[in-house]
Structure 1
Amino acid sequence: MSATASFLARRAAQKERVRILYRRALKDTLNWAVHRHLFYEDADRLRERFEANKHVEDLETVERMIADGEATYNKWRHPDPYIVPWAPGGTKFTRNPTPPSGIFIEKERKI
């Protein structure tokens, strides 16, 4: 019973790592694509690579494949990824910060 629970817990952790790796690689693929139709081709190739190994069950083999995938991802990551302008790290992030608490800015009244 304990071995089965351990197997299932390790398998669940591996599935989560694969899911995270796939999402990161897919988002990074969008950084490399100049046009959306190029992104779709690259995304299809990426999905095929993940789907080809979907049925591997050996835990050590899966662990090695995840490590290889993460190493490949880190090797080919985009050096200057796209960041949404208003997100943290974007060009518009906190451009106009909210005033500190206690300061009241009165709006102009039109006569």
Structure 2
Amino acid sequence: MAAAYLTHHQKVLRLYKKSLRHIESWCIFRDKYRFYACLLRARFDENKHEKDMMKATMMLKAGEEEFWANQHPQPYLFPDSPGGTSYERYECYKVSDKVKCTYQYFYHLEEKEKKKKLLWSFLFIVQNFGRKTLPYINGTRFSLVHLGCCTFTSHYFKEAMNPKCFCTRAE
């Protein structure tokens, strides 16, 4: 099966993105990066509506040559991207969809535990900052019932992990 050729538009977009990534490698500070990114965007926008394909192709070729001449010698690579330090490092720990379908009950419990941990972290914030009502969590608004019965001290896991004691659904 033969691969399709890239359109002119796709080539220009890829050149723009590569250029932005290399500017990011050259400029450490965010404000300086933003300035040069705006200048680059202005240069691309000048010729956005070019109708003559021969001229547009020549400009693209000149842009690629300029990119090649000015590219960073050691560009920043994200750790999880190809070529990064952690690329495919944790593939063996990822669970396939087939296994998730087989053990639906287990993964359902895991999701419930994640929601519970999120709720307890909100409760901790509420108790420390004095709010009476929690934000919405998955479409449900929670409120505090007994502010004084549970404290987030050394007995946190013993007392606060009892949902009947600490919070109920607001009606």
Could you give the per-residue CA deviations for residues 84-104 of structure 1, whole angstroms, max 9, x where no partner exists? 234332234466885xxxxxx
Q: Does 2:84 match 1:71?
A: no
One of 16, 40, 43 as aligned partner of 1:49: 43
Q: Which amino acid aligns with 1:33?
A: C
Q: Does 2:75 match 1:81?
A: yes
One of 65, 84, 91 as aligned partner of 1:90: 84
- Of stretches 86-95 and 60-69 in structure 1, the one that deviates more from structure 2 is 86-95
* Aligned equivalents of 2:90, 2:10: Cα separation in 1: 38
* Aligned equivalents of 2:19, 2:25: Cα separation in 1: 10
Unaligned runs of 5+ in 2: 1-5, 93-171
The alignment partner of 1:19 has SS state of helix
* Aligned equivalents of 2:79, 2:37: Cα separation in 1: 24
* Aligned equivalents of 1:75, 1:68: Cα separation in 2: 11
The alignment partner of 2:73 has SS state of coil
Larger radius of gyration: 2
TM-score (norm 2): 0.46
> What RMSD, in angstroms, separates the aligned Cα atoms of the two structures?
2.1
TM-score (norm 1): 0.69
Q: What residue number does 2:10 align with?
A: 16
Of the two structures, which has the highest relative contact order with CA contacts closer than 8 Å and spacing of 6 or more? 1
Unaligned runs of 5+ in 1: 1-11, 99-111
